[in-house]
């Protein structure tokens, strides 16, 4: 029974991603006739709710509309419709709401106003349910009803806003395989291949590229796999017509796009430098040498000099060819009635360039005009901005380094073997890892990476799982143990049966979860969003005020004209200050402050075995003041063992064990499994030769107390004292004494009652995790208090609390009671974290500000949590909170960098210091400062890559 439980656990994926949930559950809308009253509604709901696979149903008595959520794996919309019609109601029309997910790469975003405008555009597309745009990740994740819209319409909506868009993935792309098909010469061949694949069991999506002769197949790994699909295509061969299929790896579009973008910025910067550096030399350097200054000032016509003409000729390509992207970006931004960095750059460079054109025209038509041009300002400004974007995009690429390392952990090749009944190898074939299917047996040689999640069926070894769990020590692996894809087999040879492939592997789910977390916005990002909405208009107004503030007093003669080494025209001086204000204040750095830090932190957390499900969880964790711990499986090891069994009546030990096994076998609780395993061993010890146990009827779970049922004609209760009291079973002094003796030693007593009389008891011990005491002590040093909330009895809870150093205890609490306790603490103004592992902890995990699920716990607890501690070590509770604190500190520092540049830079750019010190910020230097602000923010976030865990327990 114990081994069976372990095998059942292997069927549960480590994590369940949002996309998988969307794929699993669908919603169908029915219009039902003849709904007249509430009883009709009840009839429909009763009929449908009993169908296996129906998750929920809501029927409106007013208009007869029914919304039914169901799992397509178990039931179809057609079957639900037939059930309703069998109940005597007519279904007029059916509209199935099929929620799909797609990820889109977006090009051209510069600041938060860009990401917000894209989100708004996507929300306006009919059928889009939810859209998240990540500025730092340059991606959007869109949830939509595929009956109303599709990926093409979503991409058009993004492109309509002036941005580039490419589809990254549609739905769950991990369970897709790309095959190259040979032997296809005609439309008939295509029809044959498409038909044979579409009819194959488990296939849910087929696309064929006729030009490349490739086919993309989406499939359910529970029913089929890549090798089966290849055989399916080959089996379609008929007569002389032979089809062959092989794995095909499409070029990595995302990586190629990133490389192309980096190359584009580099080339544009170099092209800009080719023209702007000579302009700068002609304007700033050569005039310092008398011989050069003489020929630069050579007059071609009237006051038009050779130097002025050369500067105009060289700066024009920079302004209109290299700087074209700023014009396009400004046009689309203004068309959306918003403003971004492109608007500021275009305003600043145009002001400098076109005023210089005015100077050039005036000089060529007058023999007395003297004016200063700013051709070097516009060209150098564009060059510095492009350099900043080039360095920024290079740095941003490093924010996902931790995630990139995770994706590369899976090996390219694996050894597929067939074995006989004796476990001997019959055949051994080296295959591509992508061809592995569920239930394949893989041979893992010493030093090799494990390609799939699975269970060891033969061999003994140690596995290095540090790259997944952060656990440095190798983990012993023997038959029956789980192994994780991407980990390293250290010394022995293992035979592993694949239990999870594709999107079900722990590694794949970690990657998907971290990607989703990196897209999600942290609440602190709202500050940047709010500022960016009004930032550009304020900067433009500030630049205008700066220009007026210098020009009007200059013309009025309020300040001396000889502020520099030579006479400065008031208009020109004012214009320079205004341009500097325009370009020094850029919202880019502000928009990158939060998402870059979240990206690095979530990636680092994943590499340390702490999975943070989004910026919200990352932000809340730093405020935690109280951590509520479950006991069993959280503070304790979670593998309870029975240390003694006693009889209290005339029943024999064999009868006691038979009754216990019959009832407890249906329970999923860890203590129940330990009791069943021990009772089975006792049955064999006392001479029982059969494995069969009597069937149980009327089985019932009493939450937080135990279980009950009928075995034959006898009523059997198995549980704690609360269950016995609730069912009026008397507890004699002998039983009370036995319970007290064991509870003092932190043992749990499981009482067995047969026909209203206590027949015996099992004493169960679940040792405390070795790191628990150190973790509680460290949390206290961080200013965080700890509480135990458990369904176990007070005496056992007190014993555990004394052992680990926790003062406050709430025992004999049911699942809803745990959630109520969390809410009670929140009512006092506390930010509460809940750490648990079981189904009974799920309500509390959801209720808590931050829910932390032990990674070895149930999938329901993991789904309910905000943070998953993959390696099930309590030290990672400290890691999660500390990483959150470090991340929030880094985000605040990023805001200081971003806002500091603007708060300090804008007054200096506006010329506040110039009248007193002669210090001013030329426009080209202001552009360099603007570029440096974004680069400094990204670099600041990258420092989180050096994060070290505060607590290491060997």
Report the alpha-carbon angle 624-627-629, nearest 5: 155
pLDDT value at position 15? 47
Smallest Cα–Cα separation from 502: which of 437, 421, 448? 437
Same domain, 390 and 271: yes
Last residue of a domain, one of 731, 749, 765: 765
Note the pTM of the prediction, 2 decimals.
Answer: 0.68
pLDDT value at position 251? 58
Strands (DSSP E) contained in 474-625 are 475-477, 482-483, 488-489, 494-500, 610-612
* Dist CA 83 CA 32 (whole Å): 12
Same domain, 465 and 542: no
Up-side HSE of residue 96: CA atoms within 13 Å toward CB?
13
* Dist CA 782 CA 776 (whole Å): 10
Give the helix ranges, DSSP H, for 366-439.
375-397, 401-407
Q: What H or E segment, with its residue span, contains residue 170?
A: strand 164-170
Same domain, 298 and 441: no
Last residue of a domain, one of 250, 271, 291: 250
Q: How many angstroms separate the most distant Cα atoms in the chain? A: 126
> How would you classify residue 700: left for phi > 0, otherwise alpha for psi between -120 and 50, otherwise beta?
beta
Within a domain: 11: no
The CATH number of the domain holding residue 716 is: 3.40.1110.10
* Dist CA 582 CA 352 (whole Å): 11
Within a domain: 5: no
* Dist CA 606 CA 511 (whole Å): 8
Smallest Cα–Cα separation from 279: which of 197, 348, 373? 373
Same domain, 235 and 263: no
* Dist CA 170 CA 833 (whole Å): 35
Same domain, 238 and 272: no
Last residue of a domain, one of 250, 276, 294: 250
Mean pLDDT by 10-residue block, N- to C-terminus, for the chain (954 residues)?
Answer: 40 43 62 71 78 78 74 75 81 65 83 80 85 81 81 87 79 70 80 82 78 80 84 82 80 64 88 91 83 84 89 93 88 77 82 87 84 81 82 72 72 87 83 87 89 89 76 80 86 89 76 70 73 80 90 77 55 84 77 82 85 83 92 81 86 85 82 87 74 79 84 87 87 88 83 89 87 92 91 81 88 83 90 83 85 70 76 88 93 86 84 81 78 83 89 66
The CATH number of the domain holding residue 823 is: 3.40.50.1000
The CA-to-CA distance between both ends of the chain, in Å, stands at 33
Residues near 390 by Cβ (< 8 Å), separated by ≥ 6?
262, 265, 266, 269
Residue 755: give the domain boundaries.
641-765
Same domain, 632 and 781: yes
pLDDT value at position 690? 63
Within a domain: 390: yes
Percentage with pLDDT > 90 across the chain: 11
pLDDT value at position 627? 94
Same domain, 497 and 440: yes
Q: What is the DSSP string of 210-242?
A: TTTTEEEEEE-TTT--HHHHHHHHHHT-BTTB-
Within a domain: 15: no
* Dist CA 138 CA 109 (whole Å): 7
Within a domain: 478: yes
Within a domain: 414: no
16-62 pLDDT, tens digit per residue, is 444 444 445 677 777 777 776 666 777 788 788 778 778 778 776 66
Strands (DSSP E) contained in 556-674 are 610-612, 626-629, 641-647
Same domain, 777 and 631: yes
State how many domains the chain has.
8
Same domain, 675 and 704: yes
β pairing state of 441-444 and 413-419: antiparallel
Q: Contact 478/457 with Cβ under 8 angstroms?
A: no
Same domain, 261 and 402: yes
Helices 77-86 + 38-49 axis angle, to 10:
130
* Dist CA 174 CA 744 (whole Å): 52
Within a domain: 182: yes
Same domain, 233 and 186: yes
pLDDT value at position 12? 43
pLDDT value at position 714? 86
The CATH number of the domain holding residue 31 is: 3.30.70.100
Same domain, 181 and 145: no
Q: Contact 371/576 with Cβ under 8 angstroms?
A: no
The values of phi and psi at residue 222, to 5°, are: -70, -20
Within a domain: 788: yes
Residues near 256 by Cβ (< 8 Å), separated by ≥ 6?
none
């Amino acid at each position: 029974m114990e081994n069976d439980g372990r095998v059942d656990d292997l069927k549960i994926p480590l994590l369940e991603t949002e996309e998988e949930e969307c794929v699993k559950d669908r919603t169908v809308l029915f219009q039902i006739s003849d709904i007249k009253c509430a009883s009709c509604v009840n009839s429909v709901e009763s009929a449908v709710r009993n169908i296996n696979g129906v998750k929920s149903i809501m029927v409106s008595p007013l208009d007869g509309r029914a919304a039914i959520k169901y799992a397509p794996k178990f039931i179809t919309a057609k079957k639900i419709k037939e059930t309703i019609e069998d109940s005597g109601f007519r279904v007029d029309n059916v509209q199935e709401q099929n929620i799909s997910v797609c990820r889109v790469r977006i090009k051209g975003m510069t600041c938060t106003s860009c990401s917000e405008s894209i989100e708004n555009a996507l929300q306006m597309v009919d059928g889009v349910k939810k859209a998240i745009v990540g500025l730092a990740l340059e991606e959007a994740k869109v949830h939509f009803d595929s009956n109303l819209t599709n990926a093409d319409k979503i991409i058009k909506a993004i492109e309509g806003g002036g941005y580039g868009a490419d589809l990254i993935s549609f739905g769950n792309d991990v369970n897709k395989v790309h095959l190259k098909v040979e032997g296809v010469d005609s439309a008939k061949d295509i029809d044959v291949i498409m038909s044979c694949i579409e009819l194959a069991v488990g296939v849910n999506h087929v696309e064929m590229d006729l030009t490349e002769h490739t086919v993309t197949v989406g499939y359910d790994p529970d029913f089929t796999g890549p090798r089966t699909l290849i055989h399916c295509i080959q089996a379609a061969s008929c007569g002389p017509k032979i089809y062959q299929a092989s794995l095909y790896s499409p070029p990595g579009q995302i990586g190629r796009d990133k490389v192309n973008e980096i190359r584009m910025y580099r080339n544009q910067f170099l092209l800009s430098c080719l023209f702007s550096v000579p302009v700068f030399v002609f304007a700033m350097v050569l005039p310092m040498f008398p011989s050069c200054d003489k020929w630069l000032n050579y007059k071609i016509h009237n006051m038009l000099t050779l130097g002025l003409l050369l500067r105009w000729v060289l700066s024009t390509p920079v302004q209109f060819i290299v700087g074209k992207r700023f014009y396009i970006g400004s046009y689309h931004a203004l068309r959306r009635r918003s403003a971004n960095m492109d608007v500021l750059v275009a305003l600043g460079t145009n002001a400098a360039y076109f005023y210089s054109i005015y100077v050039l025209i005036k000089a060529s038509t007058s023999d007395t005009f003297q004016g200063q041009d700013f051709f070097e300002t516009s060209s150098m400004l564009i060059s510095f901005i492009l350099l900043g974007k080039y360095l920024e995009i290079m740095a941003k690429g490093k924010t996902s380094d931790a995630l990139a390392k995770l994706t590369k952990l899976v090996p390219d090749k694996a050894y597929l073997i067939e074995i006989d009944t004796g476990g001997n190898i019959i055949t051994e074939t080296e295959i591509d890892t992508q061809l592995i299917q569920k239930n394949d047996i893989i041979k893992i040689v010493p030093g090799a990476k494990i390609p799939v999640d699975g269970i060891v069926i033969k061999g003994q070894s140690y596995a290095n799982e540090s790259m997944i769990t952060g656990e440095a020590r190798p983990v012993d692996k023997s038959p029956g143990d789980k192994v994780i894809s991407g980990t390293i087999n250290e010394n022995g040879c293992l035979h592993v049966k694949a239990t999870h492939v594709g999107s079900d592997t722990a590694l794949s789910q970690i990657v998907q979860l971290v990607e989703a977390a990196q897209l999600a916005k942290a609440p602190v990002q709202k500050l940047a969003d709010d500022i960016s909405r009004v930032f550009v208009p304020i900067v433009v107004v500030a630049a205008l005020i700066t220009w007026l503030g210098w020009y009007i007093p200059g013309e009025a003669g309020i300040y001396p004209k000889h502020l520099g080494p030579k006479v400065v025209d008031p208009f020109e001086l004012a214009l320079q200050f205004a341009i500097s204000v325009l370009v020094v204040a850029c919202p880019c750095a502000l928009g990158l402050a939060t998402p870059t830090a979240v990206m690095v932190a979530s990636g680092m957390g994943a590499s340390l075995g702490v999975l943070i499900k989004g910026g919200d969880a990352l932000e809340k964790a730093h405020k935690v003041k109280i951590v509520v711990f479950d006991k069993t499986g959280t503070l304790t090891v979670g593998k309870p063992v029975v240390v003694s069994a006693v009889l209290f009546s005339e029943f024999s030990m064999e009868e006691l064990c038979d009754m216990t096994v019959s009832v407890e076998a249906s329970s999923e609780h860890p203590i129940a499994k330990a009791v069943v395993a021990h009772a089975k061993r006792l049955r064999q010890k006392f001479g029982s030769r059969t494995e069969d146990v009597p069937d149980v009827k009327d089985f019932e779970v009493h939450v937080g107390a135990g279980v009950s049922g009928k075995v034959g004609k006898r009523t059997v209760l198995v549980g704690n004292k609360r269950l016995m009291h609730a069912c009026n079973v008397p507890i004699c002094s002998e039983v009370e004494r036995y319970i007290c003796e064991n509870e003092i030693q932190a043992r749990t007593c499981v009482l067995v009652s047969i026909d209203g009389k206590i027949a015996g008891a099992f004493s169960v011990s679940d040792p405390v995790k070795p790191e628990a005491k150190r973790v509680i002590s460290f949390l206290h040093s961080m200013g965080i208090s700890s509480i135990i909330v458990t369904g176990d009895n007070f005496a056992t809870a007190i014993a555990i609390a004394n052992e680990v150093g926790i003062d406050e205890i709430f025992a004999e609490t049911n699942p809803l009671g745990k959630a109520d306790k969390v809410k009670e603490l929140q009512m006092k103004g506390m930010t509460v974290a809940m750490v648990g592992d079981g189904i009974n902890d799920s309500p509390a995990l959801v209720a808590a500000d931050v829910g932390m699920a032990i990674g070895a716990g149930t999938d329901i607890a993991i789904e309910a949590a905000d943070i998953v501690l993959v390696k099930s070590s309590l030290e990672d509770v400290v890691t999660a909170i500390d990483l959150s604190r470090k991340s929030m500190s880094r985000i605040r520092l990023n805001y200081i960098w971003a806002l500091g540049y603007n708060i300090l830079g804008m007054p200096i750019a506006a010329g506040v210091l110039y009248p007193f010190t002669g210090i001013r910020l030329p426009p080209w230097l202001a552009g360099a400062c603007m570029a440096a602000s974004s680069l400094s923010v990204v670099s600041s976030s990258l420092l989180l890559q050096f994060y070290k865990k505060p607590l290491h327990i060997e």
